[in-house]
Structure 1
Amino acid sequence: MNDTPGWASPGSAPSDGQDATVPGQAAPADDAAPSKWSAAQPPPGQWSPPSTPAGGPGGPPPPTPGWGAPGQGGGWGGNWGKPPAAKPGVIPLRPLGVGEILDGAVSTLRTHWRTVLSVSLVVAVISQISDILVQRYLIPEPIAVDANAGAAEALRQTADSLQGSLAAELPSLLIMLISTIFSTAILTVVISRSVVGRPVTLPDAWHEARPRLAQLLGLTVLVPLISVLVIAVGILPGVLVGSDAGAALAVLGGFAAFGVVVWLMVRFSLASPALMLERQGVVASLRRSAKLVNGTWWRIFGIQALTFVLIMFISLVVAIPFSVIALLADSSGLDGLLAGDTPSFGWPFLIITGIGAVITNTITYPIAAGVTVLLYVDQRIRREALDLELARAAGVSADSTEQPGRHAPGN
């Protein structure tokens, strides 16, 4: 392994050719390091039956201070277990819990805030300005739907309305796509460096991420296209039937297709870190993600769902005050809303809500990217003993809390 974010070369990941439950072998991290053990070691343990008091006839000598038996407060935390895992960066190098993944994402934002906020703020500002211009000049009036129409006619009107909405939102979707690509690429590099405790500047992150942008674009486009295709296949039979029964069939097919899409989204959710950090291709990254997620789908789904709820909560906390201020500042839109008509918001409303959206995206982009990358790292630690390679890259022992550049007393 090299000590850059590219932790594995294409096709060299241990799980590509072996059982995912077998951890990869790695040489000890400190083979060449001088021994840090003291020359004066405690005497070997002399065990006796529990009924014989310590120090009694035939019993062992009293325990040496500092090397207490289990439960007596000696040794490592009062037991003979393994010492704590090393934590050279934002996470400990061991399998992570849900709280540690979320905390790692927030810690990355806090530790490397200059680089992280530079990326997320610039992307958020550019994307929001573009979105405001699209909403102001390109989005047409919504298509009216007759509430008294029959089932077949209502289905046709709904399809027309969805088609019109999709056409109107296409520029915004393209803006969001480009924003996602740039933020994901650069933030993935920043977060991968923060795992091993290494600083990274924005030019460094851009230099590392730039060669992967084209493939990341292909991945970012391919996954939504697969989702659209699945939904189209699900509702197509009902649309072709074209009666009340066809409408019911389209609804059932749509629900089934939505379930398949959710399953695929979780299964492919680790593809972007695999593409960026392992230098994988688009299809190989999808396969890699499916292999890492296999057997832990529900856990990854739960963590991502919790992250989504957290991001939505942050968005509401920021957006609601800005929306209220925007409504008060835009009297024309507020009058139309109070009258029950479709409000026509002007520049004050769009600008103020746009500021709120910039703040929201600046905070949530790093959190979402951080959870995805740390989930990928966690899965590789669990399946492939990646913690040993990360410890070597950080210059620490995998089972030590020693930080890079620090030495034990007396060494």
Structure 2
Amino acid sequence: MSDQGSYPPPGQVPPGSGPVPPPAQPWFPPPPVHQPAGPPPGYGYPQPGPAQPGQAPPGWPQPGYPGYPPPMMAAHKPGAIPLRPLRLGDIYDAAFKIIRINPGSTVGSAVLVTAVAMAIPIAVTGVLTAFLDLSLVDLESESQDAADLAGFLSAYGSMLIGGILQSFGLLFVTAMITHVTAAAAIGRKLSLGEAWAATQGKRWRLVGLAFFLGAATLLYLALVIGLIVLFAVTLPNAAAVLLGLTLGFGGLAGLVFGWVRVYYLAVPPLMLEPIGVFAALGRAFTLTAQQFWRTFGIAVLTLMITQFIGGILSVPFSIGGVIATATASGEASLMIFVITNALGSVVAAAFVTPFTSSVTAVQYLDQRIRKEGYDVELLARAGVG
């Protein structure tokens, strides 16, 4: 047979011909390429671009331990206070941490000052009771002579003097806790002696600040009350009532404004900055600018918390004093009354003064961080950066 028209065996290519194309395959659309889940283009974070050799692509996390923040994140809190603008929870959390870390220079100082101040009425009452035979039963009776009346007035007067001394003593405690707070912000602890030594050179200025603010408040109240009395005497009833109410509410608003803008944050700058009394008042006014309602809200909330908890802490002593004086006889009743009230004051001051002073000092640091970048200086003092 002739070779023309014959076909080579399967799998062989005729001589001189090119490679045989593969047999045709049925057409199907290509399978979809799996894309990572995420937002469509144009939304969210940009897609990672090309990276240089040895570097992670832009938009991807840098090499390290996944799920952990960079090491510098911990540097923003070298102590008890996060060195950034603080929220209300941050302020209260920092105050509790400062008290827990420095119990001696916070709670200890408040207890020591209050105990010394309350020892005065106890001693005076004990002496008067021994010599004049005073008792609460005699106070309620109508048959008491001038000596007994003078003794009672002396006993209660000594309690008033003790309260005044306690107020001045707690003013120094506030100054000490201000230094404790500033040290806690950079991770340091101050003992009771170190906190007291830190106030050296500023103590008389602190007393001057207290006297100035007290005198200014009394003069302001005297002016407002005097004007109200003047209106009541010289004007008709309707006009006097209207102007009196207006002046009364206006005077109260002015008192609150001065308390927030000038009084509330005056002690921390006086203690921590090289300035005097009037410069400290100016610093308080500057730091609370455009922060009135925030400062006012935190201050009022703190006052409500401390008064509530302080009242709860002193209730057992008040109840115990009432029961003891009711069952005691003779001169022991007045002595028990004074002692139980003094113990209640000591226990309440152990919480109220450290917490209030710490919150005030933390608010001062917070305002400086917000307005002056004070966190940079604190980080440098802490040795970070």
Using the size of structure 2 for normalisation, the TM-score is 0.69
Give, as a single letter, the amino acid of the residue that structure 2 aligns with 1:292: L
Tell me: higher relative CO, structure 1 or 2? Use CA pairs within 8 A at least 6 residues apart. Answer: 1
Residue 190 of structure 2 is aligned with which of 190, 193, 200?
A: 200
Determine the structure 2 residue equivalent to 1:374.
Answer: 362
Q: Give deviations 1:164-218, integer Å, cap 9, x for gaps.
A: xxx9996356324322322112221111111111122222222210210000111
Give, as a single letter, the amino acid of the residue that structure 2 aligns with 1:327: V
Residue 116 of structure 1 is aligned with which of 93, 106, 110?
A: 106
Matched, 1:238 2:232: no
Determine the structure 2 residue equivalent to 1:214.
Answer: 204
CA distance 1:241–1:296, change in 2 (3 Å) = closer
Structure richer in helix, relative to its length: 2
Matched, 1:126 2:121: no
Two-structure CA RMSD over aligned residues (Å): 3.6
Give, as a single letter, the amino acid of the residue that structure 1 aligns with 2:258: L
Look up the SS of the partner of 1:330 in the other structure. helix
- Take 1:333 and 1:293, find their aligned partners in 2: how far apart are those partners? 53
Determine the structure 2 residue equivalent to 1:34.
Answer: none
- Take 1:375 and 1:134, find their aligned partners in 2: how far apart are those partners? 40
Residue 254 of structure 2 is aligned with which of 251, 255, 260?
A: 260
- Take 2:308 and 2:315, find their aligned partners in 1: how far apart are those partners? 11
Q: Give deviations 1:298-354, integer Å, cap 9, x for gaps.
A: 0000111111011012112111222111111111799xxxxxxxxx96221221232
CA distance 1:374–1:217, change in 2 (3 Å) = same
Using the size of structure 1 for normalisation, the TM-score is 0.65
Kept after mapping to 1: 8 A contact 2:183/2:189: yes
CA distance 1:216–1:347, change in 2 (3 Å) = same
Residue 298 of structure 1 is aligned with which of 293, 296, 302?
A: 293
CA distance 1:72–1:200, change in 2 (3 Å) = closer
Residue 384 of structure 2 is aligned with which of 391, 396, 402?
A: 396
Residue 272 of structure 1 is aligned with which of 267, 272, 282?
A: 267
For structure 1, the residue ranges without an aligned partner over 5 or more in a row are: 1-48, 52-58, 138-166, 335-343, 398-411
Aligned length: 303
Tell me by how many angstroms 1:290 deviates. 0.2
For structure 2, the residue ranges without an aligned partner over 5 or more in a row are: 1-39, 43-48, 129-156
- Take 1:351 and 1:313, find their aligned partners in 2: how far apart are those partners? 22
| Pairing 1:79-158 to 2, within 5 Å after superposition | 83=73, 86-130=76-120
Kept after mapping to 2: 8 A contact 1:231/1:254: no
Tell me by how many angstroms 1:132 deviates. 5.3
Tell me by how many angstroms 1:234 deviates. 1.2
- Take 1:355 and 1:390, find their aligned partners in 2: how far apart are those partners? 39
CA distance 1:77–1:375, change in 2 (3 Å) = farther
- Take 1:105 and 1:131, find their aligned partners in 2: how far apart are those partners? 32
- Take 1:230 and 1:261, find their aligned partners in 2: how far apart are those partners? 8
Q: What's the % identity of the aligned pairs?
A: 32
Kept after mapping to 1: 8 A contact 2:186/2:381: yes
Look up the SS of the partner of 1:365 in the other structure. helix
- Take 2:113 and 2:57, find their aligned partners in 1: how far apart are those partners? 56
Tell me by how many angstroms 1:77 deviates. 5.2
CA distance 1:260–1:349, change in 2 (3 Å) = same
